[in-house]
Structure 1
């Protein structure tokens, strides 16, 4: 330098000076600060994070703001870390106070969590990384991540970060938005999240609603897995919304064609169907011929003889053949008969018997006729 020694700046411990990097060694950096000797930044004073060699952080020609940490004889020990930390703490205290979300980079994986560079060493416990369990954190190294500060203590040099809280806040906001937008009667698509013995929970894009097992299908459902599986996308209708308790009741059944839809295309008068006796009443029997479709066999149509009660002939659960007398989609009604099938069966048997008789009678007549002719 051209300055004489009496023009050298006065340096004191605690001063902040600006210097230019003149040499980068493995474990220290030499800096020109306009003093009679070059300042030394030990590697431990370069960053609050662990670095292997000084060149990982600074290069020759870099201009740095530095804190005068120690002066021994003509040796000046400087710290970049102290200046960065001072600036960082002011910023971190403000972010902590306001709950700001900001982006940082993960620099290390340590026991129990991750370390981020937030100007000082920020620690993120493993439990605060995601809303779910993470087995391997290697993908997070040198990656940007959005965080908020959940605990701060300058005296203890403690900064606790959370990415999980950021995600949770966003989920809660989304949940609130979806909840406010829901109305009774809306038809939406959702993803089946969870099956239980009483129904299924469906994610509507931020909040779950319950489809009770009775609302899964028009027919009786024994267990939810008979109808849906986790991960299925299904249509649902909103039955009710309790915004205070965040409870949503849904129906999948209401989005499906009813069991009676297009019944007249599937069944016509005179068809013979198989069904199951579901209920016996004093005026007849209800027989299920399709899932959710029951037809009435009036007591007068149960048997080809007079009966006092349907129980004399039928029992619940019995499989029976029935003939369709009449069908109406509008009235959701099918009239059925067992008696007509019995009568037809009897008539068929009689006809077959008569046919057999006719054939044997005819042959016998021929035989007798031949014999008689001989006596003519």
Structure 2
């Protein structure tokens, strides 16, 4: 082996060194691993060092587990001298550069990406996509107005890339675009009379809101059950999956009216098939008014006892005799299908029945008729003549007696 001068040796060493520049991506070998930094041989006159803040999120959590001595890795050259004679390196920027190229491809192909929301400001949401910082403007978060952006922090949203500038490291995304595309598909199914499945997401005093796949519909309290209820929570719970009927759908106003009871058998029709006029049923008093009492006699079916049918005795007000919640037996007086009305009577069960007469009315003997006063018979022509002769004889006798006395 030829003897080399110091100058020649240094020249050979210099020639063996890899020429690197800032922003280059080079390969290196891990020399040492500490809790907050990693030393790397990049075949340069100085070793490279990776600080914790230049590692990927996974690597920064525990560098001792993420790196091994002798491991070959790709590193990004930040600068050739960090002030202490070492080359400043980064592994997070290597992944970032590779991901930028992937994002360019996704942008060109209009692919969907996942955006992790890590913060927000007055303009919108701060997100990370494949480790790259991005931004979702307020108008592109969702299809409805949003005032509180913090509610999205910690969530992962599906989004599309709206604009991308690799040089300026600018990435703008939209989640609303995807929601609108889904809404188009959902609205096609939301036709009146259609039956759909949804999930109860919110309860209010006047009804329950159901998520139909991106579109919320309302089941008004009057359309939840055929029975009278005071609160939707008497029938439904948040999280319930329900099958509902579309009553009305207006995309312009973004309103959908739903019905739950419309898919159930109508209680009146069921009652009409099972009972008839004259039947005695048990019911519960559910409402008291001045003119009568409403009694629930079957699920979703109520009948009215008019105040005159509550008792055989005179009743001024139904509340004088009955209370809400009373269980009573009643007799069906009338079933009116057209008006969905049922007339009931409690009096018919309380009032004693009149005794049955031994003899039927038809068999009773008629009372004897009074004889009409007899009229004197008009004299016949013969009798009238004889009577006249007698009268003439009497007259002649009176005249003779009168002349003798003179």
Q: TM > 0.5 between the two?
A: yes
User: In structure 2, what is the equivalent of residue 197 of structure 1?
Assistant: 205
Post-superposition offset of 1:105: 9.7
Which whole-Å CA distance do the structure 2 matches of 1:212 and 1:15 have between them?
62
Q: Which residue among 57, 70, 78 is the counterpart of 2:80?
A: 70
TM-score with structure 1 setting the length: 0.57
Instruction: Confirm or deny: 8 A CA contact 1:275 1:322 kept in the other structure.
Output: no
* 1:28 aligns to 2:39 (yes or no): yes
Post-superposition offset of 1:56: 3.1
User: In structure 2, what is the equivalent of residue 219 of structure 1?
Assistant: 227
Instruction: Confirm or deny: 8 A CA contact 2:246 2:259 kept in the other structure.
Output: yes
Secondary structure at 2:249 match in 1: strand
Give the 3 Å change call, closer, same or farther, for CA 15–295 of structure 1 in structure 2: closer
Answer with 1 or 2: which has the greater Rg: 2
* 1:42 aligns to 2:49 (yes or no): yes
* 1:183 aligns to 2:191 (yes or no): yes
Match runs of 1:172-321 below 5 Å: 173-263=181-271, 264-266=273-275, 269-271=278-280, 273=282, 288-290=295-297, 291-294=300-303, 313=315, 315=317, 319=322
Post-superposition offset of 1:324: 2.5
Give the 3 Å change call, closer, same or farther, for CA 188–279 of structure 1 in structure 2: farther
Give the 3 Å change call, closer, same or farther, for CA 28–152 of structure 1 in structure 2: farther
Unaligned runs of 5+ in 1: 306-311, 349-376
TM-score with structure 2 setting the length: 0.54
Which whole-Å CA distance do the structure 2 matches of 1:331 and 1:251 have between them?
22
Paired residue total: 314
Match runs of 1:88-167 below 5 Å: 88-89=99-100, 101-102=112-113, 118=130, 122=133
Secondary structure at 2:188 match in 1: helix
Instruction: Confirm or deny: 8 A CA contact 1:40 1:78 kept in the other structure.
Output: no
Instruction: Confirm or deny: 8 A CA contact 1:43 1:53 kept in the other structure.
Output: no
Post-superposition offset of 1:47: 3.9
Secondary structure at 1:214 match in 2: helix
Give the 3 Å change call, closer, same or farther, for CA 260–96 of structure 1 in structure 2: same
Which whole-Å CA distance do the structure 2 matches of 1:202 and 1:64 have between them?
51
**Per-residue CA distance 1:17-68 (angstroms, 9 max, x = gap):** 7545274464411133xxxx65522123994547465883465262647649
Give the 3 Å change call, closer, same or farther, for CA 46–29 of structure 1 in structure 2: farther
Unaligned runs of 5+ in 2: 1-8, 142-148, 323-327, 357-406
Structure number with higher relative contact order (C-alpha < 8 Å, ≥ 6 residues apart)? 1
